[in-house]
Structure 1
């Protein structure tokens, strides 16, 4: 009897080991399923982190309705974002974007926000800031040496609150809506004689399979309460139109027109300084991911 009692633990040892192995396999399977959920849905599962990095031309990054860059100025855009799943429907995002040119100062943007997704609906809110590092008010030696932001050659920085939403008709089609409100700061001593401008933007888009089209309307006006000058009571409006076709071989073709419709005068006038550049700029650009 005593020998039987001593033998029982030895007989149960394989069962205990098997039980521990099953527990480890279940934990690994849960982690794998969580990772697959993140990859398939494009949003992180609760408690997981999703890191994304993208590089492309400036014309291919015209999805930011708050600011507008010249699509023909060349350059590249590099962005990195972190998404953390809080609940099955809520995720938080942090992103950094850098726009670089060969002969022009780079623009660095940061954004912090959150997104709520429920079936066909999704809604995102964020706070963003764009600025030119080491900006200087010294006179420009070469005309056009600084990239224009919203048609402004003396852009210094901006802060804006963004809201975006999407309603999906099915797995391949949806409607995109966006709104932005913020303030643009100009370099001291600029030709317009203004320090800040209030800006608002509205965007509407449709995506169907590999094709995405959007229309963006913007308005700018001097900050209320500034001393009276030629431009304090002015307002500049513009509308951009763009279409992007994502090709099967990891390429994309973007075409459209910036300032398809605009108000204001971009030339010098006898009674005041130049206004923001709102000249119509059509563009066609191809981008290939390697």
Structure 2
């Protein structure tokens, strides 16, 4: 089933197209900031096809609104996307993104969905999937910064449903709201002793000219009905905050903090294994499009 979701965008090129994947923003909330740009972009005319691709070195770009990689983890992102105008106000979309490090493994993601745009209002829904092809923990790139997804170095795959909407005040500013629900699968034998985690996320963003910012709240908990003496009733919450300034020379400056507020900790406890890493990580990052 995972492989089917991953290859679906490529099989549906004549029917669906994309704009939800990315290759430019830096922060852990890069997906939400990129979705602001997507919802602001002029939709392709009915019956027309728009193909885009990008690649670059970025600190935290993901194609999925609920996933967050440590902003210090580095890596290279390559993405391809399609948009197809179904009707005057409706665009279908699909995309594939691959994130790699000097050492394997990599994260491969896909997303399919549709966007409705009517003047000042835009609404998009999508289904996304991410997975690590190699069944080994994600690499540690720099000391103290584990390249885990949502603080989980034993990340294996995830599937989620996303919804986002934007209301434009004028041609230069607007408000973005988003929500996501999904399930994260962990590698066998992980220290938490769990196989799956349910995750929910909400976001609120504002953009004005070249400046955009967002706040994202996430919550994770074990899949209901799976007994575990330590984690059955556990819940991990976190809030990310980020601001991006798009510069006139095709560059961008991002700053903020991952896990600005969080519950839980990443140390061994007397009664069980480590929890997801939710340490606060401030960042300032610059990206240049070539």
TM-score w.r.t. the length of structure 1 is 0.81
**Could you say if the C-alpha distance between residues 127 and 114 of structure 1 is closer, same or farther in structure 2, counting changes exceeding 3 Å?**
same
Tell me how far apart the structure 2 counterparts of residues 152 and 61 of structure 1 sit (CA, whole Å): 17
Structure (1/2) with the larger helix percentage: 1
RMSD across aligned C-alpha pairs, in angstroms?
2.2
Tell me, yes or no, if the aligned pair for 1:60 and 1:254 is still in contact at 8 Å.
no
Task: Using the TM superposition, give the Cα deviation of residue 76 of structure 1 relative to its aligned residue in structure 2, in angstroms.
Answer: 2.0
Partner residue, 2:186: 186
Task: Using the TM superposition, give the Cα deviation of residue 49 of structure 1 relative to its aligned residue in structure 2, in angstroms.
Answer: 0.2
Partner residue, 2:9: none
Q: Does residue 135 in structure 1 map to residue 135 in structure 2?
A: yes
Partner residue, 2:176: 176
Partner residue, 1:85: 85
Mean alpha-carbon deviation: is it higher for 274-283 or for 47-56?
47-56
Query: After superposition, what is the alpha-carbon deviation per residue over 1:114-168, rounded to whole angstroms, capped at 9, x for unaligned?
Result: 000000000000000000013248xx9x998962000001000000000011000
Tell me how far apart the structure 2 counterparts of residues 200 and 176 of structure 1 sit (CA, whole Å): 17
Moved over 4 A (4+): 142-146
Tell me, yes or no, if the aligned pair for 2:60 and 2:68 is still in contact at 8 Å.
no
Partner residue, 2:236: 236
Partner residue, 1:28: none
Matched residues, number: 249
Tell me, yes or no, if the aligned pair for 2:107 and 2:131 is still in contact at 8 Å.
yes
Query: After superposition, what is the alpha-carbon deviation per residue over 1:177-218, rounded to whole angstroms, capped at 9, x for unaligned?
Result: 110000000000000000000000001100100111010000
Larger Rg: 1
Structure ranking higher on relative contact order (CA contacts 8 Å, 6+ apart): 2
Q: How does 1:1-290 map to 2 (within 5 A)?
A: 42-59=42-59, 61=61, 64-136=64-136, 147-290=147-290
Tell me how far apart the structure 2 counterparts of residues 274 and 171 of structure 1 sit (CA, whole Å): 48
TM-score w.r.t. the length of structure 2 is 0.81
